[in-house]
């Protein structure tokens, strides 16, 4: 699609060039579009980051591609054109870094595993309600970072309760988006997602049992074959600075210790 658009714009540019040979040459600093591959749970914060960054660097626009981090890994492996990879964990970009496909990942934000309850019914008001027969729970598949964190959370619970919760699971989704979608519609009574997801519209936050908090680390790396390597590196430096930190905190993320 982008390719076709490029071809079309390209042809139009050529046509325009033919019609108006006196057209001035493009400005010295051409606007750059950075391709950002971002974990699905960053869907809400990346536009805010993008807006803040366009004030810091007016010549650079962010173009985001959201998916489950494991999908993005596969896309980078397949040679997709990307400048920056923002993963919902550290393992995935580390795997790519070991293969020389991205630079070593740097943690730029932290999140927490959270229980999101549907606004459509009041079935799940506390953690105990999840254990009730008939409760419909959705999580992420274990291939997805959010699914891995969910597994870590279950492992912190008494084993009988963890087994009961596993029986309550009606779907293991391929991304956090899938979990949130099903909880919002009320097809599931609750889902395991991130605190930042629960904060945004409509979902109810159900506190986790004490002592079972699971922290999620978001890691950023520049892609080795990035079309705009210098701009990508500059964006990553900005991402760990105070302006980006404020945007991330506003969205409910925590920041790693400097």
Residue from 138, 154, 176, 208 touching another protein (CB under 8 A): that is: 138
- When asked if residue 186 is in the footprint of another protein (CB under 8 A), the reply is yes
- Least Cβ distance, residue 114 to another protein (angstroms): 20
- Least Cβ distance, residue 168 to another protein (angstroms): 11
Q: Which is nearer to another protein, 52 or 170 (CB)?
A: 170
- When asked if residue 70 is in the footprint of another protein (CB under 8 A), the reply is yes
- When asked if residue 191 is in the footprint of another protein (CB under 8 A), the reply is no
Residue from 188, 198, 236, 248 touching another protein (CB under 8 A): that is: 188
DSSP lists the bridge partners of residue 137 as 169, 190
- Least Cβ distance, residue 108 to another protein (angstroms): 23
Q: Which is nearer to another protein, 60 or 67 (CB)?
A: 67
Task: Give the 3-state secondary structure of the chain.
Answer: CHHHHHHHHHHHHHHHHHHCCCCCCCCCCCCEEEEEEEEHHHCCHHHHHHHHHHHHCCCEEEEEEEECHHHHHHHHHCCCCCCEEEECCCHHHHHHHHCCCECCCEEEEEEEEEEEECCCCCCCCCHHHHHCCCCCEEEECCCCHHHHHHHHHHHHCCHHHHHHHHHHEEEEECCHHHHHHHHHHCCCCEEEEEHHHHHCCCCEEECCCCCCCCEEEEEEEEECCCCCHHHHHHHHHHHCCHHHHHHHHHCCCECCCC
Site size for another protein, by CB under 8 A? Answer: 21
- When asked if residue 170 is in the footprint of another protein (CB under 8 A), the reply is yes
Q: Which is nearer to another protein, 63 or 185 (CB)?
A: 185
**Binding letters toward another protein, positions 114-133, x by CB under 8 A:** ------x-------------
- When asked if residue 180 is in the footprint of another protein (CB under 8 A), the reply is no
Residue ranges binding another protein (CB under 8 A): 70-71, 73-74, 120, 136, 138, 141, 143, 169-174, 178, 182, 185-188
């Amino acid at each position: 699609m982008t390719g076709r658009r490029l071809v079309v714009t390209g042809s139009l540019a050529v046509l325009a060039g033919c019609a108006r040979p006196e057209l001035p040459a493009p400005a010295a600093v051409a606007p750059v579009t950075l391709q950002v591959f971002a974990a699905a749970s960053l869907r809400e914060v990346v536009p805010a980051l993008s807006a803040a960054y366009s004030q810091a660097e007016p010549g650079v626009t962010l173009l985001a591609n959201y998916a489950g981090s494991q999908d993005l890994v596969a896309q980078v492996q397949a040679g997709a054109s990307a400048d920056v990879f923002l993963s919902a964990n550290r393992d995935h970009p580390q795997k790519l870094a070991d293969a020389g496909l991205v630079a070593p990942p740097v943690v730029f934000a932290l999140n927490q595993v959270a229980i999101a309850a549907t606004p459509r019914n009041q079935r799940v008001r506390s953690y105990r309600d999840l254990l009730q027969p008939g409760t419909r729970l959705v999580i992420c598949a274990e291939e997805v970072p959010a699914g891995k964190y969910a597994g870590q959370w279950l492992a912190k619970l008494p084993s009988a309760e963890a087994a009961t919760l596993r029986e309550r699971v009606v779907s293991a989704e391929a991304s956090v988006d899938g979990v949130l979608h099903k909880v919002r519609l009320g097809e599931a009574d609750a889902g395991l997602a991130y605190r930042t997801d629960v904060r945004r519209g409509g979902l109810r936050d159900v506190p986790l049992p004490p002592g079972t908090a699971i922290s999620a680390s978001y890691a950023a790396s520049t892609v080795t074959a990035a079309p705009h390597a210098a701009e990508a590196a500059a964006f990553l430096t900005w991402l760990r600075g105070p302006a980006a930190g404020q945007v991330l905190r506003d969205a409910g993320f925590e920041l790693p210790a400097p």
